[in-house]
Structure 1
Amino acid sequence: MHIAPLSPEDPAELGGYELLGRIGHGGMGQVYLGESPGGEPAAVKVIKPSVVDSGARQRFAQEVEILKTVWGARIAALLDADAEADPPWLATEYIEGLDLSRHVDSHGPLPALLTASLGATLAEALATVHKQGLLHRDLKPANVLLGPNGPKIIDFGLAVFAESSVSLTSPNTVVGTPSCMSPEQANGERPLTPPVDVYALGAVLLFAASGHLPYRADNIHVLFHRIVDPTTAPDLSEAPEELVPLLTAMLAHQAQDRPPLNDVVRQCRALIEAQGLKVAQARRRLTSYTAAPAHLLDELLAVPRAGRPSKTLTESTDAPADPPQRPLVPPATPARLVRLPADTPAAPPPARSKEHSATKGRSLRSSAQARITAQRLREAYAASTPF
């Protein structure tokens, strides 16, 4: 996962979480890598001050309430939140690793066996969400994180209760990622039903196996037209032959023609077992294949010893060994993020304003390593930023 340095304007902490770097951003806010007083890493999401109004707070509060109801082994857990804070924030489980989009862009498509394992894992996770009366509504490659313990689904900010009038959007508004959106969702139909997530999962698996999504177009209007046109079939080129029947069914134009998630799990299991493996073995191979070769968080918190050059945040030891019968894991070339200067003397902790020190009754942790690293990141950012 890419970790960018904090800017001088970024807060030093939120809700007791020490902020160490930036890991993402969106239209409404910024996502930081944070650490709790006890050392627990977290993804801390914050609404931009420029968009904080009563409506944004209400939507953010709704998102928090929905996240409280979502659980599962393959779902990034909600850790804490405060929709009334200034700025509003929430903290979720931090998964160390690339998202599926970045992994495929960097290392190429997954083999058919590992795509089937990914499909079984994600389908089972989504089935758990659906049992809770929820839909994801925005499943896409960037919302699948490939962590050291296997893939996990993130970003339920667009989730809605199935068969309910509860929604985070206005009527006749289409929200989601068009390239992974089902035809009925692209048409703005209500209410949405579980097959929208089946379709999105099919798009994710097609991307994992082929490197492209079902429909592509330079113009957003052309893309929407192709998605909703029943005569335009999804592009399954470059998908492994053994996956085509399943992907065809999952990407069916009509919602009622798509298989239920438990059937997706069953078909993925059949593909795995046809190659002489158990599902658990395929899961381990998938994790070994996709796990980040470096422990980015450890590198971020590491203080270089005297006389030793510092590493980049993604520099690491060798990747896990490949299975002897067939090389499953090609040599990985990790993305280079930011280099901490080895000859930079240890800087004192940055001065804190009263606003940064106020933590609603919680005490800040006193991690010298994290504070020194955060200070260096800020200095590196300030030195390289042209504005």
Structure 2
Amino acid sequence: MHTTPLSPDDPAELGGFTLLRRIGHGGMGQVYLGESAAGEAVAVKVIKPTVVDSETRQRFAQEIEVLKTVWGPRVAAFVKADTESEQPWLATEYVEGPDLRRLLDARGVLPPLAAASLGATLAEALAGVHGQGLLHRDLKPANILLGPNGPKIIDFGLAVFAESSASLTAPNMVMGTPACMAPEQANGEKPLTAPVDVYALGAVLLFMTTGHYPYQADHVQVLFSHITNPDKAPDLSGAPEELVGLLSSMLQYAQKDRPTMDDVVAQCVKVIKAHGSTVAQARRRLVSLASSACEPHVFEPVPATAPSASETPVYAEATTALAPSQDAVAVAPTVPLPQQPVPAPGPGYTPTVAATTPAPTPAPALPAGPRRSAAARRIAAQLRETYASTAAF
């Protein structure tokens, strides 16, 4: 996972966790790589002081209560939290690997075998979440990390109880990320049910195999009008032939026409076997793509990948059953899509060093001290290497 150094304003410790690096940030706060006293790596999400109010605390507390009820090998586990501190924070299992958007930026689209493995694993995981009476509701590439043991789902902040009118939002509010949002979610329908996650997973798989989402537009309002138009088919151009049928069914406008998560697993396994592979072999192939793509870039100055307007979560009042006309979509401000960012350097990228640069002096041994985790030792070693390669002496 790409990390950056702490800033002078960042805390060095929080809730008993030593903060080592920055992982990422969003509108609500900052996420850090932290370490427990015993050396366990965690991801620590901290709410920014500028947005801390009673409503934010309530939403954050609800997110934590939901996360406590979600479990499974493909869900980043809850570790610890404090909603009453000056800066509320949440610690979860740290997954050492890129999110899917960064993976695509570094490696390009996934081959069919790897995509089928990704689909089978995530569908099985989401079936387990649904079995616990929950929905994710904001599945997208940035919320899926590809770690050493396969993909894991993070950020259940928008999760709600399935088949229930209970919600974390007001009755006429739409929350989610437009790029992967199902039509019923964009229409503000409630309660939402399991097919909303089936659609989102289909959008994720389409993006990972083609580089584009089911619908694209220059403005968010137009994008919503496409999503909520039952007569406008999703764009499946570029999708692998063996996955077109599955993606088409997952992205159906009507909920009843979408497959169940168990059906998605079965169809993905069928694709894997058609390639002459086992499920375990396909999983290893998927994981190897992540390690080869992102391992060299952890401490290089990689340009930040800015999400487009269609990938930015929205929280806005929705009209009832949005019509496909542009005038009926009043769920988000007009935001032009930014230009696509330049992809990160490829796996073989090495910073150019002038021929006259003297060989770096070996870094002195660190003084004796308490033992640190393997992750912390690796981070320290890579920091020393990076410093040595760029030092002027």
Q: TM-score range by the shorter chain?
A: 0.7 to 0.9
Aligned to 1:225: 225
Give the letter for the 1:267 counterpart.
Answer: Q
Once the two structures are superposed, residues 175-229 of structure 1 have per-residue CA deviations (whole angstroms, 9 ceiling, x without a partner) of: 1100000000001100000000000000000011111111111100000000000
Q: What secondary structure, in the 3-state scheme, does the structure 1 residue paired with 2:23 have? A: strand
Q: What secondary structure, in the 3-state scheme, does the structure 2 residue paired with 1:201 have? A: helix
The yes-or-no answer on 1:55 pairing with 2:70 is no
How far apart, CA to CA, are the structure 1 residues paired with 2:349 and 2:252?
A: 36
The yes-or-no answer on 1:332 pairing with 2:347 is yes
Aligned to 1:253: 253
Q: What is the Cα deviation at residue 345 of structure 1?
A: 8.8
Ranges in structure 1 where 5+ consecutive residues have no aligned partner: 301-310, 315-330, 337-341, 350-364, 381-387
Q: How does 1:185-200 map to 2 (within 5 A)?
A: 185-200=185-200
Could you say if the C-alpha distance between residues 45 and 334 of structure 1 is closer, same or farther in structure 2, counting changes exceeding 3 Å? farther
How far apart, CA to CA, are the structure 2 residues paired with 1:141 and 1:101?
A: 5
Could you say if the C-alpha distance between residues 69 and 272 of structure 1 is closer, same or farther in structure 2, counting changes exceeding 3 Å? same
Q: What secondary structure, in the 3-state scheme, does the structure 2 residue paired with 1:231 have? A: coil
Q: What secondary structure, in the 3-state scheme, does the structure 1 residue paired with 2:32 have? A: strand
Q: What is the Cα deviation at residue 313 of structure 1?
A: 9.2
CA contact (8 A) 2:106 2:293 kept: no
Q: How does 1:163-182 map to 2 (within 5 A)?
A: 163-182=163-182
CA contact (8 A) 1:105 1:211 kept: no
Q: TM-score, normalised by structure 1?
A: 0.78
Q: What secondary structure, in the 3-state scheme, does the structure 1 residue paired with 2:235 have? A: coil
Q: What is the Cα deviation at residue 168 of structure 1?
A: 1.8
Q: TM-score, normalised by structure 2?
A: 0.77
How far apart, CA to CA, are the structure 2 residues paired with 1:211 and 1:112?
A: 13
Q: What secondary structure, in the 3-state scheme, does the structure 2 residue paired with 1:291 have? A: helix
How far apart, CA to CA, are the structure 1 residues paired with 2:349 and 2:272?
A: 28
Q: How many aligned residue pairs are there?
A: 328
The yes-or-no answer on 1:242 pairing with 2:242 is yes
Q: How does 1:314-325 map to 2 (within 5 A)?
A: none
CA contact (8 A) 1:148 1:292 kept: no
How far apart, CA to CA, are the structure 2 residues paired with 1:274 and 1:42?
A: 39
How far apart, CA to CA, are the structure 2 residues paired with 1:166 and 1:81?
A: 23
Once the two structures are superposed, residues 302-342 of structure 1 have per-residue CA deviations (whole angstroms, 9 ceiling, x without a partner) of: xxxxxxxxx8599xxxxxxxxxxxxxxxx724799xxxxx7
Could you say if the C-alpha distance between residues 93 and 22 of structure 1 is closer, same or farther in structure 2, counting changes exceeding 3 Å? same
Q: What is the Cα deviation at residue 39 of structure 1?
A: 0.8
Q: What is the Cα deviation at residue 289 of structure 1?
A: 2.1
Q: How does 1:373-384 map to 2 (within 5 A)?
A: none
CA contact (8 A) 1:147 1:292 kept: no
How far apart, CA to CA, are the structure 2 residues paired with 1:231 and 1:69?
A: 38
CA contact (8 A) 1:293 1:334 kept: no
CA contact (8 A) 1:146 1:152 kept: yes
CA contact (8 A) 2:182 2:196 kept: yes
How far apart, CA to CA, are the structure 2 residues paired with 1:102 and 1:255?
A: 30
Could you say if the C-alpha distance between residues 207 and 294 of structure 1 is closer, same or farther in structure 2, counting changes exceeding 3 Å? closer
How far apart, CA to CA, are the structure 1 residues paired with 2:76 and 2:115?
A: 21
How far apart, CA to CA, are the structure 2 residues paired with 1:23 and 1:3?
A: 5
How far apart, CA to CA, are the structure 2 residues paired with 1:343 and 1:142?
A: 39
Give the letter for the 2:240 counterpart.
Answer: P
CA contact (8 A) 2:107 2:289 kept: no
CA contact (8 A) 2:106 2:294 kept: no
Could you say if the C-alpha distance between residues 252 and 334 of structure 1 is closer, same or farther in structure 2, counting changes exceeding 3 Å? farther
CA contact (8 A) 1:82 1:89 kept: yes
How far apart, CA to CA, are the structure 2 residues paired with 1:101 and 1:293?
A: 12
How far apart, CA to CA, are the structure 2 residues paired with 1:367 and 1:277?
A: 39
Aligned to 1:280: 280
Identical pairs, percent: 64
Give the letter for the 1:225 counterpart.
Answer: S
Q: How does 1:1-387 map to 2 (within 5 A)?
A: 1-292=1-292, 332-333=347-348
Q: What is the Cα deviation at residue 55 of structure 1?
A: 1.2
How far apart, CA to CA, are the structure 2 residues paired with 1:138 and 1:294?
A: 24
How far apart, CA to CA, are the structure 1 residues paired with 2:195 and 2:168?
A: 20
